[in-house]
Structure 1
């Protein structure tokens, strides 16, 4: 498990005035994190700070702390003001900070500058590792905004009154979805089980997660606070979250694996990576029941989304309709697209029409396609099997997305009577064929050995190797081994093309 963007992060703080619903001006503390190497799937984004003010609903879900007036107080700029040189002061834009000679860094002594700098760095770190969450107070009506705020943040302590019964119940129930599985969710687990989806795992049979950079900044105290927060305070994911990916297209998964080898080459070479098959039911269960601050997401077929937005929607015209609940813009499409072939109206005479419905080999099943090419191929076979109908060259397609379809199924009272088949993309079928050729049939005992015993033996082997390197290859005591020793001379990093079925 690695995070691939662990370069030095820079934090900026600003105070902006945003308009609230009632017309009052609200001061909000904004944090911006900018990295010198922020790459996702090998694509270089624009290097610009990501600034977003937290909404009130997000702040309500954060750890609850009540501040006393002395801990979080306003400051009136006056001659009698007594401010310690190391205090944290947040100024409003119009506070006249540049004219306030008392607080200008240039007029402080060297020791005062060092104390202020140290205190500010501690304050920034507490914000960066998400130990502090607060909203600046509202502006009162008919009054000017407060010029500055002093924060005695070091006095803040964990204050909570946890529901012990709720905490004990969380140990044997799922906190993300306590009702899982409902009746419809059990049916979905059965209906999704035959279909594959792709992810990347290591030789310990662990799905490789993308960790937030904050993870590598946290010390033991921060980790204990995180454990406390997840146990007592967590209600939804409002802080930095670790993410696991499930891909509809194996080519996208291989690109992700290549990114792992490019930016986490040391860990990838030691623990290994491989493209693995998972059942849709397994991915669906992890998506609904993941632990606090860990999410498993479905990553759509990037090529299919691009073709749909730029080509198919214009080529099909009126023959392609979008579901009323589907979100689509000129340059984007929400989630993984799915296609169903709609009925076709055929003329029988001057005043009569005939409606023709598409059906496949299983007539009582609804066919759901993940690509337009798959829908067109199925439609051509249907045309060849019914030449007397004079069907149009292209089918009528209804476009929806996978996640919304699953959500609709969870709420459908008649789900038990519905049967559907997912028609995967071409790359998925090629990967399945390759897996069948490379992996012979094995017994259940061999599967148990492969998934349970071998990972533990591999873990023992890793730690034995690490101990050997520390004892015999470290140049001096308390110094880590050289990179070349850890990698055994491996310099050309290229991910292996191995497939496993889960």
Structure 2
């Protein structure tokens, strides 16, 4: 036999030893091996493995089918060990949006028996397998409310300048956003995928989102600030957290133009809701708006009290909106003087509605004529705030200098901490 034959046999023996004693044990500890076993052990949950190497690789790094249905057989503890290994990856895929969940429709010939038999199938997109884009990248386009602001919305913005709402902000004039923990724990792949989904696919918030809060009562905002300071004392003291008043039109614009997965919500006056459900709703002069959702123990949104007046000479109507029934009762003299009528409120029905739906209804109206009244706590807070915070050229320069000092102070402390602290590696 020739020398080439012996060399060829030696190569085969080396390859066999390398594959059997080195590569195969390493492969058994990889995700791919567990994935192929997992699909074969759990055909009711995941699409069964084919046993073909390259096809199973495509399942692992391109797309996998998930079948949700009732499992009748019991699994051994050995199989459940691999289930827990895959469960973490499944959670991450759900959080990052690579698995798009939906509720199956009973239309198109589907019924409960068919769904129970075949299960519900979902696609788990992996790697470079991305969902098709719905539109061009919308970096500078408002996708939450396309075309905002329209002509009617500009008119609403102009009418909401004199009503205050309250926010909690830091020394950089930033509103703290409540972020879900699962959205903050991501790797670089999930971050890039979410950017693609937010700017090329997103049309509405179908999954978890972050929340910014607007308060009608300043006492609720102060309580929220105290809660943040109690839970995060170091950060709040470092960033100079405070409660300030802003105009309702600014809150309205943020609510309509917030980025994907960030929503701004109005937090109602809880004391007012309590009084409304226990006392005010039983008064004869009040009536709930037909669209208002309420019950014996609940009320949707921030309650407002609408008093509509009409000038018979000019054939014009005007609405007075109150966020507090107590303020409405004390301001009735003002409305009577405007209408030249005594005991006007006794002959007028007060409509109870909520602020959020009221603003939505205004977007369909051409003529706007209304006046807002806030609560007593807001009046007191604004008076104190206006005394302690003066507006002008010099105060604005002083405020910008304070922000620069705060920025330098915060980052100097963080850099010093990073250079002087280290984490012990657990063994």
TM > 0.5 fold call? yes
Instruction: Give the superposition deviation at 1:295.
Output: 0.8
SS of 1:411's equivalent in the other structure is coil
Instruction: Give the superposition deviation at 1:407.
Output: 1.5
* Distance (whole Å) between structure 2 residues aligned to residue 195 and residue 255 of structure 1: 21
SS of 1:334's equivalent in the other structure is coil
Instruction: Give the superposition deviation at 1:237.
Output: 0.7
Matched, 1:334 2:305: no
Does the aligned pair in 2 maintain the 1:198–1:276 contact within 8 Å? yes
Q: In 2 relative to 1, CA 137–454 (structure 1 residues): closer, same or farther, beyond 3 Å?
A: same
Aligned to 1:167: 136
Matched, 1:127 2:94: yes
Does the aligned pair in 2 maintain the 1:75–1:148 contact within 8 Å? no
Matched, 1:470 2:418: yes
* Distance (whole Å) between structure 2 residues aligned to residue 190 and residue 264 of structure 1: 38
Aligned to 1:346: none
Instruction: Give the superposition deviation at 1:424.
Output: 0.5
Pick which of 238-247 and 378-387 moved more: 378-387
Pairs within 5 Å for 1:104-253 = 104-105=76-77, 108=78, 114-135=81-102, 145-146=116-117, 153=124, 158-162=129-133, 166-168=135-137, 170-253=138-221
* Distance (whole Å) between structure 1 residues aligned to residue 423 and residue 289 of structure 2: 62
Matched, 1:429 2:379: yes
Matched, 1:370 2:323: yes
Q: In 2 relative to 1, CA 394–276 (structure 1 residues): closer, same or farther, beyond 3 Å?
A: farther
SS of 1:200's equivalent in the other structure is strand
Pairs within 5 Å for 1:216-365 = 216-314=184-282, 316=283, 318-341=284-307
Q: Which has the larger radius of gyration?
A: 2
Matched, 1:409 2:409: no
Matched, 1:443 2:392: yes
Q: In 2 relative to 1, CA 152–434 (structure 1 residues): closer, same or farther, beyond 3 Å?
A: closer
Instruction: Give the superposition deviation at 1:76.
Output: 7.5
TM-score of the superposed pair, with normalisation by structure 1: 0.64
Aligned to 1:454: 402
Does the aligned pair in 2 maintain the 1:341–1:395 contact within 8 Å? yes
Cα deviation digits, residues 197-246 of structure 1 (max 9, x gap): 10000111100111112123222222122111101111101121111111
Instruction: Give the superposition deviation at 1:188.
Output: 1.2
Instruction: Give the superposition deviation at 1:384.
Output: 9.7
Cα deviation digits, residues 87-110 of structure 1 (max 9, x gap): 9986744x4223xxxx322xx2xx
Q: In 2 relative to 1, CA 409–454 (structure 1 residues): closer, same or farther, beyond 3 Å?
A: same
Does the aligned pair in 1 maintain the 2:272–2:324 contact within 8 Å? yes
Instruction: Give the superposition deviation at 1:115.
Output: 3.7
Q: In 2 relative to 1, CA 471–336 (structure 1 residues): closer, same or farther, beyond 3 Å?
A: same
Coordinate RMSD, CA, aligned? 3.9
Does the aligned pair in 2 maintain the 1:366–1:420 contact within 8 Å? yes
Does the aligned pair in 2 maintain the 1:322–1:400 contact within 8 Å? yes
Cα deviation digits, residues 362-392 of structure 1 (max 9, x gap): x985321111101111125667999994667
Aligned to 1:398: 351
* Distance (whole Å) between structure 2 residues aligned to residue 385 and residue 282 of structure 1: 29
Aligned to 1:499: none
Q: In 2 relative to 1, CA 158–379 (structure 1 residues): closer, same or farther, beyond 3 Å?
A: same
SS of 1:367's equivalent in the other structure is strand
Pick which of 325-334 and 275-284 moved more: 325-334
Instruction: Give the superposition deviation at 1:186.
Output: 0.8
Does the aligned pair in 2 maintain the 1:75–1:149 contact within 8 Å? no
Does the aligned pair in 1 maintain the 2:219–2:377 contact within 8 Å? yes
Aligned length: 368
Does the aligned pair in 2 maintain the 1:290–1:296 contact within 8 Å? yes
TM-score of the superposed pair, with normalisation by structure 2: 0.74
Instruction: Give the superposition deviation at 1:121.
Output: 2.4
Does the aligned pair in 1 maintain the 2:98–2:124 contact within 8 Å? no
* Distance (whole Å) between structure 1 residues aligned to residue 377 and residue 162 of structure 2: 17
SS of 2:293's equivalent in the other structure is coil
Does the aligned pair in 1 maintain the 2:101–2:122 contact within 8 Å? no
Q: Which consecutive residues of structure 1, in runs of 5 or more, have no partner in the other structure?
A: 1-70, 344-356, 481-502
